[in-house]
Amino acid sequence: VVPALPTPLARLDALAARLAAEPESSRAIVFELSRLVRGAVDAFLAVDRSGCTDEDWTHAVKDDERVPLGVRNTSARLLASAERIKYAQETPTRFAVDEFLKDARAAIEALADAPRPLVEAFAA
């Protein structure tokens, strides 16, 4: 039996616990949060955009009405804020990481409550 993968909320809780135990890991946690939110949205849509840059991913999702509007807005804000940390080597404050965690939780919970979009089948 293959063990079940942790849910996005369980992964989020693990990141919050890691921040409490290892405050110096804040940059790595922001990386993980951006990956977690992107992965949760991609799983919700049954698409794989893992190869996209954050900018391309945000552009692809921003007008996708299958994704709840709040999730689109929160994801865009989270990824834009994370950019300085991910690419400019900034170290986020504890308050900033708490805000990232809050935004990620809001997006993931909204996805969990939203009706799953229908997967379109294309005839060959």
Q: Each residue of 55-108: pLDDT tens digit?
A: 999 999 999 999 999 999 999 999 999 998 988 788 999 999 999 999 999 999
Q: Quick one: pLDDT band at residue 119, thresholds 50, 70, 90?
A: low
pLDDT for residue 116: 85
pLDDT for residue 118: 72
| Contact of 57 with 40, CB cutoff 8 Å | no
Q: How many residues does the chain have?
A: 124
* Distance from the first to the final alpha carbon of the chain: 34
Higher pLDDT, 120 or 35: 35
What residues contact 22, with CB distance under 8 A and at least 6 apart?
A: none
Give the tokens for residue 42.
Answer: 């991609």
Mean pLDDT of 36-44: 97
| pLDDT at 7 > cutoff 50 | yes
Q: Quick one: pLDDT band at residue 123, thresholds 50, 70, 90?
A: very low
| Helix orientation angle between 94-113 and 26-45, rounded to the nearest 10 degrees | 10
pLDDT for residue 86: 86
